[in-house]
Amino acid sequence: MIALLAGGTGAARFLLGLARVVDPRRLTVIGNTGDDLDCWGLHVSPDLDTVTYALAGLLDPARGWGVREDTFHCLGAMARLGHETWFRLGDRDLATHLHRTRLLREGRSLGEATETLRRALGVPCPILPMSNDPVRTRIRTPEGWLAFQEFFVRERAKVEVLEVRYEGAARARPGPGVLEALRDAEAVIVCPSNPVTSVGPILAIPGVVEALRATLAPTLAVTPIVGGAPVSGPAGRLMAALGLPVSAVGVAAYYRDWLDLLVVDERDADLVPAVEALGVRTAVADTLMTDGARAAALARNALAALGVPG
């Protein structure tokens, strides 16, 4: 079993590649819930949904979020009723949030809701929320604290980041199966996701870093930063705010406490010595995943670096 720490779009692309080269039933995905939000009274888990839709073959490939060919008729009607619509929930996507919200109101856990969703949609592997307890990534900007989605979607990540907090993380328990997956895995892969706001919240759950340090499995991360900028999303601005170099070196520095291997993009091969100086071994590969074949090749390279058979 391969355990994966996953954020949203980048993780989804990598998982689709990985599912081409290993039996997807061998995967266990540990998903970020730090950017969950309440939208229109519904509990939305954007990263869990992106991963679920990807593995179900439903993800919109152009947007990298939401259900392919979805419509936004409910959203238009919500706008007419005076509701905020900067977080765009599609009509088909809404079913996921209605389902989850109903189960949560009935006292089921986020993990149980996620499990029923992935099964109903035909995803062959478990997707485990990092925690069933609420953890919310908050970003301090010159205008004050924002929820992650307010920063990322509403403000399009265009405001200065002064500080990042994972509210609730210190009291949160790891989701059922999370620590066991890290312990029992034959390999642990950190997907090419934003270190600060996609992977950081998972690492902030008490016990996760300890499990990553203790596991006998080799641990590998794929850099989400290529040529000094993130492939997608606001990772650069967030890493800089934390004083990290916006490069594979910064990624290695963030994970070095427990990381064995970092996949550095071939465009950044000159960074290999700096990464290795941090005590992190490297593999060099094309990490851009511009299509499914390239994502599969990246996954194959990662497995080879880990010494795990595909």
Nearer to its own copies, 105 or 158 (CB): 105
Give me the least distance between CB of 77 and its own copies, in Å please.
Answer: 3
Residues lying near its own copies in the complex (CB under 8 A): 40-42, 67, 70-71, 73-78, 80-83, 90-96, 98-99, 101-102, 105, 116-117, 120-121
Structure tokens at 277: 């100086």
Give me the least distance between CB of 42 and its own copies, in Å please.
Answer: 7
Nearer to its own copies, 122 or 273 (CB): 122
Nearer to its own copies, 78 or 209 (CB): 78
Give me the least distance between CB of 85 and its own copies, in Å please.
Answer: 10
Nearer to its own copies, 104 or 283 (CB): 104
Give me the least distance between CB of 234 and its own copies, in Å please.
Answer: 29
| Residue 289 contacts residue 295 (beta carbons within 8 Å) | yes
With b for 16 or more beta-carbon neighbours within 10 A and e for fewer, the 138-156 pattern comes to bbbbeeeebbbbbbbbebe
Give me the least distance between CB of 73 and its own copies, in Å please.
Answer: 4
With b for 16 or more beta-carbon neighbours within 10 A and e for fewer, the 249-271 pattern comes to bbbbbbbeebbbbbbbbeebeeb
Give me the least distance between CB of 43 and its own copies, in Å please.
Answer: 11
Give me the least distance between CB of 35 and its own copies, in Å please.
Answer: 21
d(CA 40, CA 90): 13
Nearer to its own copies, 116 or 232 (CB): 116
Nearer to its own copies, 60 or 91 (CB): 91
Listed residue (46, 44, 47, 37) closest to 15, CA to CA: 47
Nearer to its own copies, 41 or 142 (CB): 41
Length of the chain in terms of residues written: 310
Residue 211's contacts (CB-CB under 8 Å, 6 or more residues apart) are: 174, 178, 179, 182, 183
| Residue 3 contacts residue 178 (beta carbons within 8 Å) | no
